[in-house]
Structure 1
């Protein structure tokens, strides 16, 4: 079975204390940090991730892009992220696909749930990402410790090896 996670981008940023703080000064930086975190999430879970950003008040048509293997959609001017998410569920839903939607909007959670998708509150997604980050940090820390081996050398051999390392 294929799992797809659809994320309401600004909703998750608003629920994530650190990203919400960054968003106040730099909208684009907060979006990029969310993309990076979702990219790690996708790598670990193997799920396809689709990130939706609401362009409801911005002029222009819908824009689709891909960054770090994350599908990113900026909605068209008259379309809210919720509308786009509901449309994607209808389009992607089938017996071989399980769709999860990350949002804190209770009305949207019920709407996606009624369409057969699984709801994932933003805080739950944030905690899953933090857990993944802790596991990665722990894993890389253990790898560093395991790769450090000490070979005791006399001073003359140590100097010779250092000279060879530096190329003289």
Structure 2
């Protein structure tokens, strides 16, 4: 996916969303994904049971959206934040979220979703 991202980031995003949708379908775990953005509206959602996708606005980072979501929902729901950014892990963890690395997320997806 890294090579794909280097060539066409939109295709890499779509491939990641598909993998996360498959993971959600197989596990029943609700998935929300946040990307650094398109510079427009903050939210995009295609269907009620689909993966919810957030894009940061101009002047905003994906980290800011993750922090806002973690502070709002981590105490109400089991919330896991997948990031390899240590500072972001610390911030989300302080809000009550469980944090895993991108490598651990990849392993969870590979274990849950048949090839």
- Same structural fold, with TM-score higher than 0.5 when normalized by the shorter chain: yes
Is the CA contact (8 Å cut-off) linking 2:27 and 2:112 kept in structure 1?
Answer: no
Find the residue that maps to 1:39 and give its secondary structure: helix
Query: Which residue is equivalent to 2:35?
Result: 53
1:126 equivalenced with 2:114 (yes/no): no
Contact 1:101 1:119 in 2 (8 A): yes
CA RMSD of aligned residues (A): 1.7
| Unaligned ranges ≥5, structure 2 | none
Q: TM-score by structure 2 length?
A: 0.89
Aligned counterpart for 2:85 among listed residues 83, 89, 105: 105
Q: Name the TM-score, length of structure 1 as normaliser.
A: 0.62
> Residue 62 in 1 paired to residue 50 in 2?
no
Give the number of the structure whose alpha-carbon radius of gyration is greater. 1
- In the TM superposition, what are the counterparts of 1:14-33 in structure 2 within 5 Å? 19-33=1-15
The structure that is helix-richer by fraction is 1
1:35 counterpart residue number: 17
Shift of 1:127: 1.2
Deviations 1:111-165 (A, max 9, x none): 11111100011000011112234xx24xxxxxxxxxxxxxxxxxxxxxxxxxxxx
Equivalenced residues, count: 114
Distance 2:70 2:93 in 1: 10
Bigger proportion of residues as strand = 1
Residue ranges of structure 1 left out of the alignment (5+ in a row): 1-18, 138-168
In the alignment, the residues of structure 1 paired with residue 31 and residue 6 of structure 2 have an alpha-carbon distance, to the nearest angstrom, of: 25
Distance in 1 (CA, whole Å) between partners of 2:39 and 2:67 is 22
